[in-house]
Amino acid sequence: MSTTKDVHLEPAALEEGRAKGNGVPKSSHHHHHHPHFKGNKRLQQLRAQRRRKREAENIQAKLPGLMQTDDIKDLGKLRRRLKIKNELVAAVAEFCGTFLFLFFSFGIATQAGQQQLTQTQSGEAQSAGTLDTNQLLYSSLGFGFSLAVNAWVFFRVSGGLFNPAVTLGLYLCGALTWYRAIILTIVQFVSAICAAGMSQVIIPGGINAATKLGANTTLAQGFFIEMFCTSLLMFSIYMLAGEKHKATFLAPVGIGLALFLAELFATGLTGGSLNPARTLGPDVISGEFESSTWIYYTAPFVGTLISAFVYWLLKASRYETANAGQDDDETQEALVLRDTKGNVTGAVQRVDIANAPNILGIINAVQGPGANQSVVSLIPDSSVVTPHAAAPGPESRPPSIMLSPADEGLLTPAADRETFYTPATEEKELTENAAVAAEAEQRLQETEKAKESGLAAKDFS
């Protein structure tokens, strides 16, 4: 006659997976090692190793010879070196661009203001230091064209900002990191002082480009004039350079025209600064700071905040749908991929990088390890090939994943094109490597079991 013994299970014991009671044996867990689990784990490890190796090789290729290292296994060190290199290059380019922009602007403004006495149509002489419309047009064109040319030259390296207020605006919209914004702001102020000093030495008689309020302009009027003119300039940068469209490559022209328009209005009233660095340079060289100088260091930043707020409202409201189709091509073309037999194997679709599917190889090639800088903000759309299943047939081949010709230049250096794998090819290679590793591991286990069996038989005997 069998009796059943009650077993008391405590909640804590249940949570720990143990049963505390009289005569209750601990459950034994048999771990079964499944080969396919090990194979999947090994496959993931091989894939991770390949990705790290490719990332290391890509970073190594982007570094100059002095910063390259033989130890490409340390990804952290390579990433830090790439970041330092990028910040140095951007800082040097921004210094050169700001210097050239202000150097030519100061020279043109000085020549426009050297005609101290000009004759009006009635033959009366104007007061010293005033500008007629010809001088105003000459000075405004000088600033506008100098900005357009230098921004067009340097925008691919540092963004072509040349203005601390513009730097703040691009940081607010996420196009710049906080540390690059600080670096560029310092560089812009230093470069402006250097440009003013060089102009003072080279131009006969020195420069005459200080920003001062007009005779009849009050502090409040000057503040709001500088604020609204800077808002126009910053909003032009947002919509022409920050927003990607068909005419993005012409953005420096539109931005230069915006500065030209602002200078036409503000030069005779406030001197048309719109740029704290542009004001600081001549003030430091001359050693004179007017009591109204503070408006040139505050109003541009306030104007930037206003334009950033309006830009944020437009983005939050999805402004693209209000006047849809403005950036669409008049003719729509459908691109298809065909094999050597003429069978359709896929189609080409242009998508934004942020909306691209996570296809192994393509995203790494398009974005790369340092895609977070750059921004941001000024990279054009890329073409990604989306595969489609081909119709079954004896002559058809499976669809392949490939980059469009427009994106071939993104694979740097040229040797990357030779080692570029499609997802199908890479998956096959990794599967084969995993199978070989699993087979070797299985043989090792069999050898160990055989040794254990031999030892057990020896002990028994």
Ordered DSSP codes for 349-398: EEE-GGGS---TTHHHHHH-TTTTTTTTTTPPPEEEEEE-PPPP-TT---
Domain ranges in the chain?
A: 76-114+131-319, 335-420
Q: From CA 227, how far away is CA 299, in angstroms rounded?
A: 5
Q: From CA 401, how far away is CA 423, in angstroms rounded?
A: 7
Q: From CA 231, how far away is CA 223, in angstroms rounded?
A: 12
| Adjacent-strand bridge partners of 383 | 350
> What's the confidence (pLDDT) of residue 432?
67
> What's the confidence (pLDDT) of residue 400?
36
User: Given CA atoms 249, 250, 256, 259 in this order, what sign does their dihedral have?
Assistant: negative
> What's the confidence (pLDDT) of residue 94?
96
Please write the tens of the pLDDT for every residue from 292-336: 899 999 999 999 999 999 999 999 999 988 888 777 655 556 677
> What's the confidence (pLDDT) of residue 228?
97
Please write the tens of the pLDDT for every residue from 251-280: 999 999 999 999 999 998 999 999 999 999
Please write the tens of the pLDDT for every residue from 387-429: 333 344 444 443 333 334 444 444 444 444 444 444 555 566 6
* Domain covering 76-114+131-319, topology: Glycerol uptake facilitator protein (1.20.1080)
- pLDDT, averaged in runs of 10, over the chain (461 residues): 50 51 47 56 79 82 80 79 92 96 93 55 44 85 94 91 95 93 96 95 90 91 96 95 86 94 93 94 90 94 97 93 74 72 77 60 45 36 38 41 40 42 56 72 78 63 52
